[in-house]
Structure 1
């Protein structure tokens, strides 16, 4: 009698992304894309696109940058909508939302305190704009600074985004199903203290996270201004590219659980 087949173990995935993709940061995004491609291969990462960074760098009307976005997408790079303006225009003064807004981001938690109607309007407008530029659907929605309020959660579900992400997980907005767990490895360049802490955390992650099914790495334009951060990014990508297969976020929607 033939022994029953043993299912293949879930493969380990490395998901990488470039945040704050905007005409304002075109040179930095180019440099980061080249860096990630060197470690992961062409198109094996995502870009998070801002329609109008701080309301002074619009995609609309910028034919040259729109062409760049299409070129990147044609290379296989996944495109996420990343807010509308990346600026918190409704900051909370008290409570948990106030703490997050003040200490987890430099005034960029755009969707943390937005009411549902405003969150829905910004998401719908951004989704339509980016998808019209690309000629294809976005992969999902990721809020600036990974911060979401109740209005944002409901708006994502209403609009049918396939994927969303925060600091600790990736999930389906409509059902709430969690597809991957674990902290995202990222870096901060805003101050010497944040640089030190992100270097410490990334070094710890290289030791503590190799057994994690899905490892997520996120880089930002500001990282290109600090050589120590770039060295840390290189070390982190090189480490996990050995144990985890560079993959697309959309691969999480398959039948195999990864955490």
Structure 2
């Protein structure tokens, strides 16, 4: 079982800390990932924030995997037509940063974020996961050029360099921004607790700072973690990569 906390930044520090304690109760120390935004909506830069940098290093030292999660998490090049426009409108609240970025800009943001985060952490990032799990062609090319070890979207985890898919299956996540999305995510989590452990060798679960504002979502996350760890061992993304590589 792979668990992750999205949207980690100085603006979400308290909520991330609460989610980390919840995950640790089920997975143990350090057996989950954090997805870090270098400058959340260009309002919460990590650069120059010594206190938050110290906290990120402490989390990483405890074994938590650190993924780069875009640069600002805001879609500054929104599409208005076609399938890209549909995804940008209906799959995220204006946060699909890498869905429509041209290649050069995607590469620049990804490279800058990688360098910044690795400087703060003192170690390589575990990989890159695009905001809202949405990638355009420019983002896919940038992933390959930078040699990012791992990436994931809604339905899979893969190695960008080779395209090798390491795991398939939907990620279980929750949405807090409307009553309708709260209800639908609670319903999907109930279904997932019953069906997915029987169907998938690898389960993925992702939580967001906004989840902490809705008690029903926190209860659902707690119940889903409790069910998943009964059948699937909490692990790191690096464990998945090693097991796919095989002995030696």
* TM-score of the aligned structures, taking structure 2 as reference length: 0.98
Q: Report matched runs for 1:124-203 at 5 Å.
A: 124-203=111-190
Partner of 2:235: 247
Deviating beyond 3 angstroms after TM superposition, the runs of 4 or more aligned structure 1 residues are 255-258
Contact 2:166 2:244 in 1 (8 A): no
Query: Larger C-alpha radius of gyration, 1 or 2?
Result: 1
**CA offset digits 1:177-205 (Å, max 9, x no partner):** 10000000000000000000000000000
Deviations 1:137-167 (A, max 9, x none): 0000000000000000000000000100000
SS at match of 1:245: coil
Q: Secondary structure at the match of 1:80?
A: strand
Deviations 1:17-42 (A, max 9, x none): 00000000000000000000011100
1:226 is displaced (CA, Å) by 0.2
Q: Deviations over 1:94-115 (max 9, x none)?
A: 0000000000000000000000
Instruction: Report the counterpart of residue 4 of structure 1 in structure 2.
Output: none
The alignment of Structure 1 onto Structure 2 pairs a total of residues equal to 245
The residue number in structure 2 matching 1:213 is 201
Q: Residue 113 of structure 1: which of 100, 114, 117 is its match?
A: 100
Kindly indicate whether the alpha-carbon contact (under 8 Å) linking 1:202 and 1:232 is maintained by their aligned counterparts in 2: yes
CA offset at residue 256 of structure 1?
Answer: 3.8
The answer on 1:237 being equivalent to 2:225 is yes
Matched residue, 1:225: 213
Cα drift, residue 257 of structure 1:
7.9
Structure 1's unaligned 5+ residue stretches are 1-13
Query: Which secondary structure does the structure 1 equivalent of 2:41 belong to?
Result: helix
TM-aligned CA distance change 1:239 to 1:147, over 3 Å: same
Structure 1 residues 201-232: Cα deviation after superposition (integer angstroms, max 9, x where no partner): 00000011012100000000000000000000
Gapped runs of 5+ residues in structure 2? Answer: none
User: 1-side partners of 2:244 and 2:85: how far apart?
Assistant: 38
Is the 1:28–1:221 Cα contact (8 Å) retained in structure 2? Answer: yes
Contact (CA 8 Å) 2:32, 2:64: kept in 1 or not?
yes
Contact 1:179 1:257 in 2 (8 A): no
Deviation, structure 1 residue 59? 0.2
Superposition TM-score, scaled by structure 1 size: 0.93
Q: How far did 1:251 drift?
A: 1.1
Distance in 2, Cα, partners of 1:210 & 1:32:
22
Match of 1:11 in 2: none
Aligned-residue offset at 1:255: 4.3
RMSD over equivalenced CA pairs, Å: 1.0
> Residues 60 and 121 of structure 2 are in contact (CA less than 8 Å); yes or no, is this contact kept in structure 1?
yes
Change (3 A) 1:113 1:256: closer
